[in-house]
Every structure is written in structure tokens, then in C-alpha cells.
Structure 1
């Protein structure tokens, strides 16, 4: 056998050994994750605010949210049908995504654990808000970024209905914008609840 053939055969054997080694190493370091909710983190913990046709306003904590289209810009939020806000969004087709700063951790927890059926949560925890510019749903003034949305579609995915919202207007605290007018997320200490 010539030297180049021997080298090729040796290289192939070494590569096979390395592949087997890395496959075994990979298998040994992988275990099954039992809790699906923990596998796609970090996801933003947000407050979704809405306004019913009767004029009631509400906000609820939402853990399922994200961008779903850049052109046109759209976001989606997942809401359990038993939630009070679910029906408000269904009837009006509007909501606002509010990014939550760490400083609102306590209010976020309260808004996520109480129902508007029982009390006016926004009054109870002194949340400041005003009506959006493009939608009637309120923007929460203590949140650094507010994304006004109109529902363009929704889909039941099991436990949640995913509302797909076309972004109508984005508000941000002025001090958070970079020189190009984009949000500089390094300037925001967003809530990391989970």
C-alpha cells in the first residue's frame, strides 16, 4: 500500500472514531426535558392591555408572546379562553403589548394572579394608562415600550388562543432610542420572571 493510500485510510478511520466519540458524548449529555414550558426561554413576560366595548380596561400577564412577521410587522400573544381579557380582545379585535421593566415585578405578579371579574386591577395597583393612538386599548405608561395591535387572525392551539396582531403603532420612552430611532434594549432592564 502506498503512503498516500495509507494516509487516506488512516484519516478515514480517525474520522469514524471521532464521529462515534462525539455521537456518544452528545447522547450522554442529553436528557429528556419534562416541562415543555421551560424549553423556549427566554420569552418575554409582557402585559397585554385591552378595552372592552363597555369601556372597561384591563391588563393581564402573558407568557406566550413574540414576533411572527416583519413585513408587515405582526406579533402574537397566547391567551387562555377562560381569562377575562380574552373576551374583551375577541369583541374589539384590539390589544396592546406592554414590555415590563423589572421595577414593575410586583404589579406584574398581581395583574397575573387576579381577575378583572373581581376588581379593577389597574386601579387597585395604581397603574397609569391612556388610550392608544391607533387603538382604543390602553397603553401602560410605566412600561417603556407599548405596541398597539389590531387582530388579523387567531388560532386555537390547545390551551391558548394565539391572537395575531398587526402592529399599528409603537411607543417607546425617548431615552431608549438610539441615533437611528430604534429601541436600544440594552438600556431596558426587562422583567425576567421565569
Structure 2
């Protein structure tokens, strides 16, 4: 075994797919690409998201307390990377990348029509934001596009490369301890 720098930890433990986060402040929507997120608990469903103050969305989320987490599939890979390479304070990303939206039910941030799923969220606990840039979000509504043909998601490896989900290994029958969960 070879030792590598602990600064590379995130490359080994990245928990979930790359997502897009939409916000809206005073009627102006924004979208960013995010890779640092995790499930915190099942009920109520809490999601931890790291969004730094260098991201235009940080200010929007901090002020409004709400966002949408949209889960893109691999067919949007280049767009997802390009969204992450510009800032909403200088670019209308919805126009530049021809992002199709529809209104959410409970939050002002828009849903992204071309994504697999959209999760409407509200900040549940702001106490970690100033110290760690960690937003604790509660999922309020989930929208899924069951008709979408491309369903593979992408996982960032931290160096500009991605792992793409493939097939599914179904071990639900073995998960006896967790059967009571929906």
C-alpha cells in the first residue's frame, strides 16, 4: 500500500451523485453544481450540504432558507460541469445552458425539468453554516421523472473524472434490520 495525502479523503468517500442546487432570491433564480452532500437521517429526511461562501448560491440559500436539489443523469454531464465552471453573479446559467424549469410547490427555487429527480428543501438547522458552510436541509417534496430513459448518475472522483452508475445489485432480502423503513 502507498500512502497519499489526507487532502484526498473526499476522493475516496464521496457519498452520492453530483447534483444541481437551485435557489431563488428576490425572483432571480440561480443554479450550481454540488458534490459535497450526505444523508443525515431518514425521518424527517435530513440532507447535509456543503456550500461555501465563494459560491453565489451560499448567499441565496442563507437568506432564503430554501432550495431544490436536482439529480441529473449522465446525459447532462457536460452541462453539469459547465454550470460548475461559472458563477451566477455574472452569468444567467438558465439562459446560457438552456435549462428548462417549472415552479416548485413549496419553495421559490425552480425544479429542473431535465433531471431525474428534484427535492424541494428548507434549511432545518443553520447552526453549522457560519463555522463549516454546512447547511442541514429537510426534504419537503420529491419529484421524479419515471419516464426518463437515461437514469445513470455521476459521482465525482475529485479530480475532474467521474464514476457512472451502472447496474443494480439487489440485496433487499438480506437487509432485515432496515425492512421497517419506507
Q: For this structure pair, what is the TM-score category when the shorter chain's length is used for normalisation? A: 0.7 to 0.9
CA distance in 2: counterparts of 1:190 and 1:90, whole angstroms: 28
CA RMSD of aligned residues (A): 1.9
Residues of 1 paired with 2:38 and 2:144: CA distance? 17
- Verify: 1:110 aligned to 2:82, yes or no: yes
Per-residue deviation, 1:174: 2.5
Instruction: State the Cα distance separating 1:37 from its structure 2 match.
Output: 2.2
Moved over 3 A (4+): 29-34
Per-residue deviation, 1:36: 2.2
Q: Output the CA distance in 1 between the equivalents of 2:45 and 2:155.
A: 24
**Which structure 2 residues correspond to residues 126-145 of structure 1 after superposition, within 5 A?**
126-145=98-117
Q: 2:54 aligns with which of 82, 104, 112?
A: 82
SS in 2 for 1:136: coil
- For 2:13, the equivalent position in structure 1 comes to 40
2:142 is equivalent to residue 170 of structure 1 = yes
Q: CA–CA distance in 1 between the matches of 2:37 and 2:76?
A: 18
> Cα offset for 1:67?
1.1
Which structure has the larger Rg?
1
8 Å CA contact 1:33, 1:39 repeated in 2: no
What pairs with 1:1-194 in structure 2 (closer than 5 Å)? 29=1, 31-34=3-6, 35-52=8-25, 54-154=26-126, 155-156=128-129, 160-175=132-147, 188-194=151-157
Give unmatched runs, 5+ long, in structure 2: 158-182
Q: What is the distance in 1 between the residues matched to 2:15 and 2:70?
A: 17
Structure 1: which 5+ residue stretches go unaligned? 1-28, 177-186
Indicate the SS of the match to 1:118: coil
| Cα distance in 2, alignment partners of residues 42 and 77 from structure 1 | 11
Q: Which structure has the highest helix share of the two?
A: 1
Aligned 8 A contact 2:53 2:59 in 1: yes
* 1:191 CA drift (Å): 2.0
**1:23-74 CA distances to partner (integer Å, 9 max, x unpaired)?**
xxxxxx463444122131353211111101x211011011111211111111
The alignment of Structure 1 onto Structure 2 pairs a total of residues equal to 154
Per-residue deviation, residues 57-111 of structure 1 (Å, max 9, x unmatched) = 0110111112111111111211011211111111110011111100111110111
